[in-house]
Amino acid sequence: MPTRFVFAAPRLAAYGLLLALLAAALPAQAQLFGGDDQARRAIIELRERVEANRLTAEQANQALQQQQTELTQRLDEELLGLRRNLVEIGTQNDALRRELAELRGHNERLAHLVAELQRQQRDLQRDWQAQLDQRLRPLEPITVTVEGVEFQTRPEEVQAFDAAMVVLRASDFERAARLFGEVVAQFPRSGYVVPALYWQGNAQYAARQHAAAVETFRRMITVSPRHPRVPDALLGIANAHIAQRDNRAARAALQELIQAHPTTEAAAVARERITRLR
């Protein structure tokens, strides 16, 4: 409850005491000033002055109380406004922290994708060097090793896959996703189908086509469930679900990865990432 300042009470008590003393002294003064009439007039005048002073003091006290009440109300209103502003600022800060956390997660996943692309580029360069003699004979099958799997293929298949990889390394993710899809459609029996599906899923994720990425990674796992890239495909599925803010589906994919491929590098990443999910 707001504090009230009352100034008139002591002053009114003093006036009352003064009136009593003067009233007691008036009989003696009446004898000095010549009679009861003169004394009564003096008493009446004194009482009127005391009463006037008392009323003045009461009015001043009421005015001070009114000012105190108004000041307290204004302070309460200002404090309420400040509290509301603090709550709004806190809410905005929480939203910013969530956005920053999402951006960090997205940057980490893109960094992982870039590292994969760089490693793939080094592997391709070694393959090109090793296959140089074979490429001089375009009508004959070529033996290649892609994503840890060796298989025979034709030159046009190699060219189509390599062209898609060049576009992917140039960060044209939507076009790269289309080109990898064309590899799968044009050469459905090729050994490039599984790696094309894997990199198509990565390109779709980078292009923020998260639902399509999940579908492509699942198709790749169905086509070749024992392929060395299956753990990374499961991690890609989890990442796409996280980007969709579907933490339940992301957790399920991460747990599937950890249980099915516990010793892989992707499983280590999954264990760390699953702790961040709410």
pLDDT tens digits, one per residue of 215-236: 999 999 999 999 999 999 999 9
pLDDT value of residue 190: 94
Cα distance between residue 159 and residue 168, in whole Å: 14
pLDDT value of residue 7: 44
Do residue 185 and residue 261 come from a single domain? yes
For residue 59, CA distances in Å to 19, 64, 68 come to: 20, 9, 14
Q: Is residue 209 part of a domain?
A: yes
Do residue 101 and residue 119 come from a single domain? yes
pLDDT value of residue 76: 86
Asked if residue 147 lies in contact with residue 198, where contact means CB atoms within 8 angstroms, the answer is yes
Q: 151: helix, coil or strand?
A: strand
Asked if residue 191 lies in contact with residue 153, where contact means CB atoms within 8 angstroms, the answer is yes
Asked if residue 195 lies in contact with residue 229, where contact means CB atoms within 8 angstroms, the answer is yes
Closest CA to 163 of 184, 180, 147: 180
- If one counts the domains in the chain, the total is 2
pLDDT value of residue 15: 53
Q: What are phi and psi of 147, to 5 degrees?
A: 55, 40
Question: Could you say which of 109, 137, 165 is where a domain stops?
Answer: 137
Do residue 181 and residue 219 come from a single domain? yes
Any idea which residue has 């504090």 for tokens? Answer: 3
Query: Cα torsion at 273, 236, 144, 123 (round to 10°)?
Result: -50
Tens digit of each residue's pLDDT (9 = 90 or more) over 139-183:
678 889 998 899 999 999 999 999 999 999 999 999 999 999 999
Q: Integer distance in angstroms from the first to the last C-alpha of the chain?
A: 44
Q: What residue spans of the chain are helical by DSSP H?
A: 8-33, 36-130, 132-135, 155-169, 173-186, 193-206, 210-223, 230-243, 247-260, 265-274
Amino acid letter for position 250: A
Do residue 110 and residue 179 come from a single domain? no
pLDDT value of residue 217: 98
Parent domain of 123: 43-137
Q: Is residue 107 part of a domain?
A: yes
For residue 185, CA distances in Å to 51, 168, 229, 276 come to: 108, 18, 20, 38
Cα distance between residue 66 and residue 2, in whole Å: 12
Tens digit of each residue's pLDDT (9 = 90 or more) over 89-143:
988 988 888 888 888 888 888 898 889 888 888 887 887 777 765 555 556 788 8
Cα distance between residue 255 and residue 231, in whole Å: 11
pLDDT value of residue 5: 44
Tens digit of each residue's pLDDT (9 = 90 or more) over 35-80:
578 888 888 888 888 888 888 888 888 888 898 898 888 888 888 8
CATH code of the domain in which 185 resides: 1.25.40.10
Tens digit of each residue's pLDDT (9 = 90 or more) over 6-29:
444 555 555 555 555 555 555 555
Amino acid letter for position 148: G
Cα distance between residue 22 and residue 18, in whole Å: 6
Do residue 50 and residue 105 come from a single domain? yes
Do residue 122 and residue 181 come from a single domain? no
pLDDT value of residue 6: 45
Do residue 108 and residue 148 come from a single domain? no
For residue 87, CA distances in Å to 73, 95, 101, 261 come to: 21, 13, 21, 46
Q: Is residue 100 part of a domain?
A: yes
Those residues with Cβ within 8 angstroms of residue 30's Cβ, 6 or more apart along the chain or in another chain: 36, 38, 39
